[in-house]
Amino acid sequence: MRFRHVLLSEAGFQSQQLIIEAGLTLGDASVYSKIDVTIDGADEVDAQLNAIKGGGACQLREKVLAEAAETWIMVADYRKNSETLGTNWHQGIPIEVAPFAYVAVLHRLAQLGSPTTAEKSTAVGAHGQVLTLRMGKAKAGPVVSDNGNFIIDAPFPKEMMERPTDLLTKIKLLTGVVEVGLFCGMAKAAYFGNADGSVSVRSTDGSVKKL
Ligand SMILES: O=C(CO)[C@H](O)[C@H](O)COP(=O)(O)O
């Protein structure tokens, strides 16, 4: 396999800083539109290698790089490995939205089945998470992505999370949505770090190999 030692800045500000600090060559997806391999983290990975991403609010850029890659690989620790998305990642699907449209998108997500405060006891079971605009921790106001957009975290009931591609399609069609933190059918493999320090690799055929 041929590698170019160029790292792309689109994965977000933090990645860009790490690339510069390490003295590596910083590239750009508009110059390197085809990538051999993209390796990325995930917030949760299901049995079919679908993933939730966007815990760091970078899912738009990360999806552009994943789609540009011949091979897209995920790395995560064992706590992010589950049968169905939403099992261990409870805060919901990260959705990047145009700021002026966020109230409209919140309404449409609620209509799609994402629970709001009023209905949380029936809709989300034990976890109690509800549809929210993600707020900053060290700043007042909402989190603003590297693209100047807001992030909505939208939990959905288990029966909808079991069909992530259908859910992705429905959310992506809402006007005002820029990108959805569901990565479906994209990964060639997921590498999980185990509690004992070993690594397990799961492939698209469902096979798991311990390294
Ligand atoms: O999707 C992401 C950022 O948008 C990250 O890949 C995801 O949040 C995992 O991060 P970490 O490996 O630091 O736990």
The answer on 123 and 64 residing in a single domain is: no
Total tally of structural domains belonging to the chain: 2
The answer on 42 and 29 residing in a single domain is: yes
pLDDT in tens, 95-123: 999 999 999 999 999 999 999 886 654 44
pLDDT in tens, 31-79: 888 888 889 999 999 999 999 999 999 999 999 989 999 999 999 999 9
Provide the token pair at 196.
Answer: 């004992």
In a domain, 146, yes or no: yes
Clarify whether 21 is annotated catalytic: no
Nearest CA to ligand 1 atom 13: 41
The answer on 67 and 21 residing in a single domain is: yes
The answer on 29 and 17 residing in a single domain is: yes
Closest CA to 94 of 135, 59, 42: 59
pTM attached to this predicted model: 0.90
Q: Which domain holds residue 52?
A: 6-83+185-206
Any idea what the CATH number is for the domain that residue 102 is in?
Answer: 3.30.70.260
Our mutation pick for probing the ligand 1 site, out of 18, 39, 44, 58, counting the most ligand atoms within 8 A of Cβ, is: 58
